[in-house]
Amino acid sequence: MPTIGVLALQGSVREHVRMLQEAGASAIAVRRPAELDAVDGLVIPGGESTTMWKLADTFDLLDPLRMRIKEGMPAYGSCAGMIMLADRIEDGVDGQQTIGGIDMVVRRNAFGRQVDSFEADLDFAGEPVHAIFIRAPWVESVGADVEVLGIAEPGDRIVAVRQGPLLATSFHPELTGDTRVHRYFVDMLREL
Ligand code: GLN
């Protein structure tokens, strides 16, 4: 059984831990570099990417996170977590840094300028999911190696992507009872 960490600096940590357990993984909170060393994969939750970046820096996690991602650790970022996994962002605050790993441009608070939050039914990797968006980013553009896994109807925006061992969604599957996205991530870990 893979052990998956949930980056526990800020955001919807408990909900992801519960969904990962339901999806058949063992899940632990990650706050320190030693905890990061102990996991096979990592979920980066929703929350606020500017705060998460600053806390990761303060807790000396930013470089270890970048290192593990570079070495191929599977990771799944939801909402603010998607922003953290983006190689490039738009509408970040001054100097905002990410962990990076996915060759994409993500626009922060993109849907938020139109509607703060909304729900939509969409296809995720060919399966129907009910997606909850909260001040959500969208993916503005992707590189050639990035697979688009989901599109949301308002504006036909890219909201789910995968590049090798890295997965990201603009929405929050941990807030629904549906473990499909978490199961997809756990299956990814088993295949890799
Ligand atoms: N708007 C937030 C950010 O920029 C993301 C919102 C969320 O994770 N629900 O980080």
Is 119 annotated as catalytic? no
Are 35 and 70 spatial neighbours (Cβ–Cβ below 8 Å)?
no
- C-alpha–C-alpha distance, residues 74 and 163, integer Å: 10
Distant-in-sequence, close-in-space partners of 170: CB < 8 Å, separation ≥ 6: 79, 82, 111, 131, 133, 136, 137, 138, 139, 152, 157, 159, 160
pTM beyond cutoff 0.75: yes
Under the banding of pLDDT at 50, 70 and 90, the label for residue 119 is very high
Under the banding of pLDDT at 50, 70 and 90, the label for residue 13 is very high
Compute the distance from residue 183 Cα to the ligand 1 centre, in Å: 23
108 is in an annotated binding site: yes
The answer to whether the CB of 47 is under 6 A from ligand 1 is: yes
Q: 3-191 has which CATH code? A: 3.40.50.880
Is 174 annotated as catalytic? yes
Compute the distance from residue 114 Cα to the ligand 1 centre, in Å: 15
The answer to whether the CB of 86 is under 6 A from ligand 1 is: no
Under the banding of pLDDT at 50, 70 and 90, the label for residue 114 is low
